[in-house]
């Protein structure tokens, strides 16, 4: 009886460990952090999402970007309108919000998520333009 219980617990722990590792692995496979030059090249004619507040967005954003405020209660509902099988390019001010948003998008099932390294601040520091 004790041996069966120990074996059952061991199997349960192993299965849970594999499940957690699989999720982490698939999430990390879906998210790629890109430097501004690579982000600019790859995002041409793709879905670019600026997750800053509308006020931040109005101060300047990447041309063609749509604004979906990360702090809105319906943030994931708005992201969900996009095709999960198509690449999505996400950025914020400095990269902090983008990391969390990318993880949410990966958990939701997006397969290809590109995160702008350093956010729009690093984008501009590298000589890239923004539009108002």
pTM, entire model: 0.79
pLDDT for position 106? 95
Catalytic residue from among 92, 101, 106, 116: 92
Tell me what percent of the residues of the chain surpass a pLDDT of 90: 77
Tell me what percent of the residues of the chain surpass a pLDDT of 70: 79
Q: Is the pLDDT of residue 70 over 90?
A: yes
The CATH code of the domain that includes 111 is 3.40.250.10
**Residue 45 counted as domain residue:** yes
Number of domains in the chain: 1
3-state secondary structure of 31: strand
Instruction: State mean pLDDT over 74-80.
Output: 95
**Residue 4 counted as domain residue:** no
CA distance 29 to 45: 22
pLDDT for position 55? 97
**Residue 88 counted as domain residue:** yes
Distances (CA, A) of 103 to 64, 65, 100, 108: 23, 20, 5, 9
Identify whether 20 is a catalytic site residue.
no
pLDDT for position 10? 52
Reported as a single tens digit per residue, the pLDDT across 13-62 is 555 454 444 444 456 789 999 999 999 999 999 999 999 999 999 999 99
């Amino acid at each position: 009886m004790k041996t069966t219980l120990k074996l059952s617990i061991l199997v349960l722990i192993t299965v849970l460990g594999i499940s957690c590792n699989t999720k982490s692995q698939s999430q990390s496979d879906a998210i790629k952090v890109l430097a501004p030059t690579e982000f600019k090249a790859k995002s041409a004619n793709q879905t670019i999402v600026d997750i800053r507040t509308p006020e931040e967005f109005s101060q300047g954003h990447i041309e063609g970007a749509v604004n979906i405020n990360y702090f809105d209660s319906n943030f994931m509902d708005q992201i969900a309108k996009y095709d999960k099988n198509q690449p999505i390019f996400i950025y914020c001010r400095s990269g902090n919000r983008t990391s969390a948003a990318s993880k949410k998008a990966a958990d939701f099932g997006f397969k290809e998520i590109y995160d702008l390294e350093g956010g729009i601040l690093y984008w501009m520091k590298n000589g890239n333009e923004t539009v108002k």
